[in-house]
Amino acid sequence: MGSQGGWGQSKEFLDLVKSIGEARSKAEEDRIVLREIETLKRRIAEPDVPRRKMKEYIIRLVYVEMLGHDASFGYIHAVKMTHDDSVFLKRTGYLAVTIFLNEDHDLIILIVNTIQKDLRSDNYLVVCAALTAVCKLINEETIPAVLPQVVELLGHPKEAVRKKAVMALHRFYQRAPTSVSHLLSNFRKKLCDNDPGVMGATLCPLFDLISADASSYKDLVVSFVNILKQVAERRLPKTYDYHQMPAPFIQVKLLKILALLGSGDKQVSGHMYTVLADIFRKCETSSNIGNAVLYEAICCASSIYPNSKILDAAVETTSNFLKSDNHNLKYMGIDALGRLIKISPDIAEEHQLAVIDCLEDAITIDDSSPKVPRVTVDTVEGNESPSMTTKVLSLGKEEEDPDDTLKRKTFELLYKMTKSSNVEVIVDRMIGYMISIIDNHYKTEIASRCVELAEQFAPSNQWFIQTMNKVFEHAGELVNPKLAHNLMRLIAEGFGEDDEGADSQLRSSAVRIPDGFICRNSDQIPSAFMQASFDGSQLHGLSTNVRLRIVHFLVNVICWVLGEYGTADGKYSVSYIIGKLCDVAEAHINDDTVKAYAMTGIMKICAFEIAAGRKVEMLSECQTLIDELSDSHSTDLQQRAYELQALLSLDNRTIENVMPSDASCEDIEVDKNLSFLNFYVQKSIEKGAQPYLPESERSGMSNVDNFKNPYQHENSGQSLRFEAYELPKPPPPTSIPFVSSSSRVTDIIPVSEQVHSREIHQNPPTSGADALALEVKLRLDGVQKKWGRPTYSSVPAASATVSKENGVTHSDEATNANSQTRDFPYNHRRQQVEVSAEKQRLAASLFGSSSKSDKKAPSSHRPARGGHVNSERPPATALLLSEPPKEKTSASVPPPPDLLDFSDPLPSSATSEDPFKQLEGLVDTTIAPLSGNAPTPDIIPLYGGTPSINSATQANIRNASAAASGVVTIKKGPNAQDALEKDAVARQVGVQPTQNNPNLFRDLLG
Amino acid sequence: MIRAVMVMNTQGKPRLVRFYEFQPPEKQKELIRSVYGALSSRADNVSSFVQADKIFGQDTRLVYKHLATLYFVFVFDSSENELAMLDLIQVFVETLDRCFKNVCELDLVFNFSKLHSILDEIIFAGHVLETSSEQVMKAIEEIARLEKTANPISIVAKSVSGRLGR
C-alpha cells in the first residue's frame, strides 16, 4: 500500500476507508463514520496539531462529507489551512473549502484576503489554486475585491493560469453579469491568444454571451470559421489531438457557437458551408469523439440557414447514426432527426424504418420485458478485465434489451412528428408505453403529451373521449385535474353545431365509461356487469374488460356524466343509476369530493325524473346515504344532502326551472353594476339618505365612529369571521377541486373556498344601495357578528317554521335573522365583485392553455341556447346576481297582481327604507313564472315569510332571502345564502363559454 | 456546463463526488442515491445517456460509464454534447490509468485527494479545461513533486512553529 499512500495518508485513514469499504450495511457504515467524526472532532480541537496531521484530518473530513455526514465543525480548520505558507497544504486547504463552503457561507470573508494575496503569488500553482477557489467561493459582493487581480492574470506568462483566469471571469459573468460588463472585450482579445488552450477556454464565455445576444457578435463569425478550419485541418500542435481527432472539444464548442450565430441569418450562414462540408467529409466516424463532432455539425446545419448540400450531408450522417448498432449513436441519430425534420419534414419518411426499429424495439419490450433474460450482464462482467480500459459495448444482443433512454428519445421524436394523419397510432403507442413504465415523473410527461396531441389532432370525438379515458385510467392521478373539467365540458357542450343526435351518442358512450370504475375495491372483478345494460349499438367499445384502476377524479367525471346524462337516452333505469352512484359514494368512504359528486349526480337524476313528471321512489340505500351525509362533518356534503331533500319536495315545474336538463353550458349573465338598484338608490337619496361614499373617501371614519359608519365595521368583522371559518381547509385546487355546492352543474368548476379567502381582500363594491342598506339596520352588530356563522344552522329552521300568518313567528327568530341580514348584503355584494375575478381566473385555467382556435360557429349556436335560458328557464338561484337590464324595470315596478299574497308589503316597505325590498322584488318576480302561477302547498310556506310586516324588520328581510334560497335549500344546514352564492358563482364561471375553446373543436368539426 | 461528477461503485458507495454548484451534504447524499437508482436498473449494453431532469432539474442529463466495479457519472446541461462528455469520462479514466498503472477501485479509494487534483485539472468551474491526459499528468506530477519538496520544509516549519507555540 506504500505506493498508494504516496500522498501522505496515514494508516488510520487507510483503515477507515477500508472498514467503510467492507461495511456490510448502511447502518454499519454510518456507525463507522460517526465514530470517525467523533475522533476527528477530538483530535482536530487539540492544541498544536502538526500541520501534516491537520492536512490529513481535513482530507478525512472531506471524505466524511462525501459520505453524506456533516463535517461543519472542521470548516474553520480548512479555512485556516488556506493561510498556510506551504503550497501543498494551501492547496489542500483550498480543495477542502471549495468542497465544503458555498459562496454565501460566513467563513468566506476569512478567505477573501488570502485569495487576494495568493492571486499575486509567484508560484503559479498557488495562483491556480486560488483561481479555483475564486470560481467556487466568490459571490457578487466579493467580486470587486478580486476582479483586478484576475484581469491582471489574463496576461500571465503561464497558459494554465491564463486559461483559469478566463474561466474565472466567465464565472463572474455567470454570477453577476453587470460586475464584469466593462470587461467583456477581454474575451474577444483572448480569442487571439497564442495558446490554443486559452482560446478554447475563451469559447465557453463567448458561447454564453452569444446565446444571450447573438447579433453583437456577428463580426466574429469569420474568425470562428477560420479557427474551426485550422483546427479541422490539423494545424494545431499534436498535443491537442485526442484519439486522432484534432482538438475535438474545441470543434464542438465552435460548432455550437456557429449554430447560434448562423441561426436564421443567410449571409452569416454563407461563411460556414465550406467548413461544415469539410467536417462532414473528413470526420472520423469510427471513434466516439468523431461522432460527437459530426453530431454537433448536424445540429449546426439544422440551425443555420439551410443549404441543400449541407443538409444532404447531415441527413446521410444521421442515417448512419440510426443504422448503427450502438445505442449511443442511435440516440444521437434520433435526436438529430428530430432537429432535421423541423427543416424538412420529409426526412422523417426516409428514415421511417430506422425509427420504427427503435420503436418496435421499445414496444416489443413492453410486452416481453419480464421475459428478457439479463444473461449478458454476467458474461460482460466476467470478461471485464480488472484494469479499467475502455469497455466496448457488446453490440450483438442489444436489440433485445430495453433501453429506456432510447425509447424516451424516440417518443420525443414521435411527438415532434405527430400530424393529424398519424396521431392515432402515435398516441396509441405512447399510451402503451405509458402503461408500461413506473416512473411517475416520466409518466406524467407522456400523459400530458398524449393529451396535448389528442386535443390538437383528434380525428373524432369518440377517439378523443376514448383516449382521455385511457389516460385517466393509467395516469389519472398524474395528469392535470383540469383535464377532467375539459372532458366534462366537452361532453356537456357537444361538438358545436352538430345535431343533438351526435351529441347524445357521444354522451351515451361516455356513460359507458363507468362500468369498471363502479366496483371499487375489487380490481379483480371484470366489472362488465353494467356493460350489458349500457351497450348501445353504435357505441364505441371502451376498454371495459381491462382491469381498471380507480382513478380519483375519473370517478368524479363518471359521477358527473351519470348524473347529467345517465338517464338521457332512457336505456337504463333511474334506480339503477342511483344505485350505482350510491355504491360509488359508499366505496369512497373517505373521499368527500367523490361523495359530493355522487350526491349531486343523484340529485340531478332525481330532478330530471321529477321534471319529466315521473315519480322517484327513493331506494333505501340512497336514503341511508342522504341521512348519513346530512350529518356529515363536511358542510359541503351536508348542504348537498339537504339540497337533495329539498329538491325532492318540490313540484315538477319548479324543478324544471331549477335544474333544467342538459343546461350545464348555458350562460348566466351578471349585472355587476347593480344597475337594477339604481331606482331604489335614487329614491332613497330623494328621501334624504346620504349618497354612497367610496371606501377611500371615508377612511378613518370607522375608527372614529363605528356606529355611524357601520359598513366598514361590519366589513372588518366579516373578514375576521370568514378567515376563522375557512382557514382550516385551505384550498389546494388540485386535491379538492370540487368543494363547491351545486344544485346542478356547478361541479364542473373548482369553485371551492378560494372564493372566500379571496373575497376578504376585495374592496367593498361601490354600490350606494349597499351602503344605505347597511346604514339602516346595523344596530346590533357588535354582538351578532361573531355569531353570524353558527346561526346559519338555525335559520333555515326559521324559514321552515314560518307559517302563512306572516309575522307571527318572527319575533322569536328576530335575533338570528338579524344577524343574517347582515350576511345577506355582504354576500350579495361579494358576489358581484367575486364573480368577475373568479371567472377570469377559472376561464384562464380552463381555456388558457389549450386555446388556439375558436369554435367554428359559436355565434349561431350559443346565443340560441342562451336566449332560451333567459326567456324560459331562468334558474332562480342565478337571478339574484344576474338580473339583466331589461328586467330592471320589472323589478322596480310593483309586482304583478298574481304575487299579491307575497308582496302586499312592498309598497309600504319602500317607504320604510328597507333596502331589500328591491331584492325581494327581484326574487318575487323571478319566482313568479316558476311557481307563482301554480303554487303548491310545498312551496307556499317557503314564501310565506316574504310578505312580512310593514315595519320591515330585519327578520323580514332575512325571510325574504331565506325564501329566495329556499327554492334550493330548505330546513337546516349550511347557510342558504352561501349556497346560493356559491352556486351562482359556480354557474357563472364554469359554464361561461369563452371565445377560446380548445382548438380540438376545430379539428373535430372539420 | 457540467453540474457534477460522481464516481461510485456498483453498490452505490460514492468514491468521488464533485458538485460544481453547491449542494448541502444531505442533498448530495440524496442525489447520489437517486443517480445510483437510475443507473443500477439499467442493463449493461444500453446507451450511456440518461435523462436526469427528474434528479437534477430541467434540461439535465447524465452520461455514465460502467467500468469494472465503478460507475463514472458526469451530469451536465444542454450546453454540452453527450458524446463529447462520454469522451471526457474517457479522458478522466485514461488519466487515472496512467496515474495509477492499471487503475482499480482500490486506487481511487486510497488516493482520494489525488483524485480531486486530477479532476480539477480536467474540469474547471464546470467547464472542460484540458482533454489531454498527458497534459493533466504533467500538472499532477508537478504537484506531486511539490509535495515531496514540501515535506522537509513543512517538517522544519512545524518544528519551528511548535517551538514558537510553546
Residue A877 pLDDT greater than 80, yes or no: no
The region, left, alpha or beta by phi > 0 then psi within -120 to 50, assigned to residue A196 is alpha
In this prediction, residue A479 carries a pLDDT of 64
Residues in chain B within 8 Å Cβ distance of A50? 158, 162
Q: How far is A59 from chain B (nearest CA, A)?
A: 7
Residue B70 pLDDT greater than 70, yes or no: yes
Q: For A749-756, what is the mean pLDDT?
A: 41
pLDDT in tens, A487-528: 666 665 554 334 444 445 555 555 544 443 333 333 322 232
In this prediction, residue A727 carries a pLDDT of 53
Are residues A52 and B146, on separate chains, in Cβ contact within 8 Å? no
Q: For A67-75, what is the mean pLDDT?
A: 87
* Residue A414 pLDDT level (bands cut at 50, 70, 90): confident
Q: B2-165: which CATH topology? A: Beta-Lactamase (3.30.450)
Residues in chain B within 8 Å Cβ distance of A88? 143, 146-147, 150, 154
Residues in chain A within 8 Å Cβ distance of B88? 249
Residue A929 pLDDT greater than 50, yes or no: no
Domain locations in chain A as residue ranges = 418-566, 573-648, 675-830+867-974
Residues in chain B within 8 Å Cβ distance of A52? 154-155, 158
Q: Are A797 and A972 in contact (CB under 8 A)?
A: yes
Q: How do strand B2-9 and strand B70-77 relate by DSSP bridges?
A: antiparallel
Nearest partner of A999 among A452, A541, A481, judged by Cα = A452
In this prediction, residue A403 carries a pLDDT of 74
A56 part of contact set with chain B, CB < 8 Å:
no
pLDDT in tens, A244-275: 888 888 999 999 999 999 988 888 899 999 99
Are residues B68 and A103, on separate chains, in Cβ contact within 8 Å? no
pLDDT in tens, A156-167: 998 889 999 999
**Mean predicted lDDT score pLDDT of chain B:** 82
Q: Among partner residues B70, B127, B143, which is closest to A125 by beta-carbon distance?
A: B143
Q: Among partner residues A328, A389, A403, which is closest to B86 by beta-carbon distance?
A: A328
Q: Are A976 and A937 in contact (CB under 8 A)?
A: no
Q: How far is A417 from chain B (nearest CA, A)?
A: 21
A133 part of contact set with chain B, CB < 8 Å:
no
In this prediction, residue B76 carries a pLDDT of 92
Are residues A331 and B49, on separate chains, in Cβ contact within 8 Å? yes
Residues in chain B within 8 Å Cβ distance of A6? 111, 144
The most confident of A121-125, A471-475, A557-561, A944-948, by mean pLDDT = A121-125
In this prediction, residue A402 carries a pLDDT of 64
Residues in chain A within 8 Å Cβ distance of B91? 242
Q: Among partner residues B46, B88, B110, which is closest to A14 by beta-carbon distance?
A: B110
- Which residue's C-alpha cell is 335575533? A815
d(CA A37, CA A33): 6
Nearest partner of A334 among A403, A252, A250, A256, judged by Cα = A403
Cell numbers placing A797: 329552521
d(CA A635, CA A633): 6
Residue A134 pLDDT greater than 80, yes or no: yes
Torsion B40-B46-B49-B55 (CA) sign? negative
pLDDT in tens, A769-780: 444 444 444 444
The most confident of A133-137, A417-421, A742-746, by mean pLDDT = A133-137
Please name the residue of chain B whose CA is at the shortest distance from the CA of residue A406: B47
The region, left, alpha or beta by phi > 0 then psi within -120 to 50, assigned to residue A945 is alpha
Please name the residue of chain B whose CA is at the shortest distance from the CA of residue A53: B158
In this prediction, residue A950 carries a pLDDT of 45
- Across the A:B interface, residue pairs with CB atoms under 8 Å apart total 238
Q: Phi, psi at residue A141, to the nearest 5°?
A: -70, -30
Residue A295 pLDDT greater than 90, yes or no: yes
CB proximity under 8 Å: A 384-443 to B? 384-391, 393-395, 397-398, 401-406, 408, 439, 441-442
Residue A597 pLDDT greater than 70, yes or no: yes
CB proximity under 8 Å: A 257-316 to B? 288-289, 291-292, 295-296
Nearest partner of B75 among B59, B94, B92, judged by Cα = B59
Are residues B32 and A68, on separate chains, in Cβ contact within 8 Å? yes
In this prediction, residue A553 carries a pLDDT of 56
CA distances to A46, A931, B152 from B165, in Å: 13, 102, 20
- In degrees, to the nearest 5, what angle opens at C-alpha A278 toward C-alphas A188 and A337? 95
pLDDT in tens, B28-40: 888 999 999 888 8
Are residues A6 and B144, on separate chains, in Cβ contact within 8 Å? yes
Give the burial class of A48: count Cβ atoms within 10 A of its Cβ; 0-12 exposed, 13-18 middle, 19 or more buried: exposed
Are residues B132 and A240, on separate chains, in Cβ contact within 8 Å? yes
Q: For A836-850, what is the mean pLDDT?
A: 40
Model pTM greater than 0.80? no
A102 part of contact set with chain B, CB < 8 Å:
yes
Cβ neighbours for A425, distance < 8 A, ≥ 6 positions apart: none
**Mean predicted lDDT score pLDDT of chain A:** 66
A701 part of contact set with chain B, CB < 8 Å:
no
In this prediction, residue A721 carries a pLDDT of 52
Using CA atoms of A372, A377, A378, A379 in order, give the dihedral in degrees to the nearest 10.
100
Give the burial class of A860: count Cβ atoms within 10 A of its Cβ; 0-12 exposed, 13-18 middle, 19 or more buried: exposed
Q: How far is A331 from chain B (nearest CA, A)?
A: 7
Residues in chain A within 8 Å Cβ distance of B29? 67-68
- In degrees, to the nearest 5, what angle opens at C-alpha A38 toward C-alphas A34 and A40? 110
Q: For A850-855, what is the mean pLDDT?
A: 34
d(CA B81, CA B63): 10
Beta strands in A841-880 (DSSP E): 851-853
In this prediction, residue A2 carries a pLDDT of 37
**List of long-range contacts for A845-850, beta carbons under 8 Å, 24+ apart:** A845/A482, A846/A482, A846/A485, A846/A486, A846/A489, A846/A749, A847/A994, A847/A996, A847/A997, A847/A998, A848/A996, A849/A482, A850/A452, A850/A455, A850/A486, A850/A998, A850/A999, A850/A1000
CA distances to A563, A729, A792, B138 from A634, in Å: 21, 10, 15, 74
Give the burial class of A2: count Cβ atoms within 10 A of its Cβ; 0-12 exposed, 13-18 middle, 19 or more buried: exposed
Please name the residue of chain B whose CA is at the shortest distance from the CA of residue A381: B68
Q: For A806-827, what is the mean pLDDT?
A: 43
- Residue B67's H or E segment, with its range, is strand B60-67
In this prediction, residue A804 carries a pLDDT of 42
Residue A693 pLDDT greater than 50, yes or no: yes
CA A878 to chain centre: 30
In this prediction, residue A665 carries a pLDDT of 58
Residues in chain B within 8 Å Cβ distance of A168? 125
Q: For A409-430, what is the mean pLDDT?
A: 83
Are residues A51 and B51, on separate chains, in Cβ contact within 8 Å? no
Q: For A66-80, what is the mean pLDDT?
A: 88
How many of the other CB atoms lie within 10 Å of CB of A53?
A: 16
Using the 8-state DSSP alphabet, how is residue A304 labeled? B
* Residue A668 pLDDT level (bands cut at 50, 70, 90): low
CA distances to A722, A781, A883 from A714, in Å: 12, 7, 26
As a whole-number percent, the residues of chain A with pLDDT over 90 amount to: 9
Are residues B44 and A376, on separate chains, in Cβ contact within 8 Å? yes
Cell numbers placing A478: 398524474
b/e per residue, A777-794, with b = 16+ CB within 10 A? bbeebeebbeebbebbbe
Are residues A328 and B146, on separate chains, in Cβ contact within 8 Å? no
Residues in chain A within 8 Å Cβ distance of B44? 374, 376-377, 380-381, 394
Higher local confidence (pLDDT), A57 or B148: A57
Q: What is the ipTM of this complex?
A: 0.87
Residues in chain A within 8 Å Cβ distance of B17? 66
In this prediction, residue A875 carries a pLDDT of 41
In this prediction, residue A229 carries a pLDDT of 92
pLDDT in tens, B89-111: 999 999 999 888 888 888 887 78
Probe site for chain A from B7, B124, B134 (most A CB atoms < 10 A):
B124
Domain locations in chain B as residue ranges = 2-165
* Residue A168 pLDDT level (bands cut at 50, 70, 90): very high
d(CA A197, CA A201): 6
Worst-scoring range by mean pLDDT, A19-23, B46-50, B63-67, B69-73?
A19-23
In this prediction, residue A261 carries a pLDDT of 92
Are residues B103 and A388, on separate chains, in Cβ contact within 8 Å? yes
pLDDT in tens, A699-715: 655 444 444 444 444 44
d(CA A299, CA A289): 15
Q: Among partner residues A1, A167, A442, which is closest to B110 by beta-carbon distance?
A: A1
Q: For A54-67, what is the mean pLDDT?
A: 87
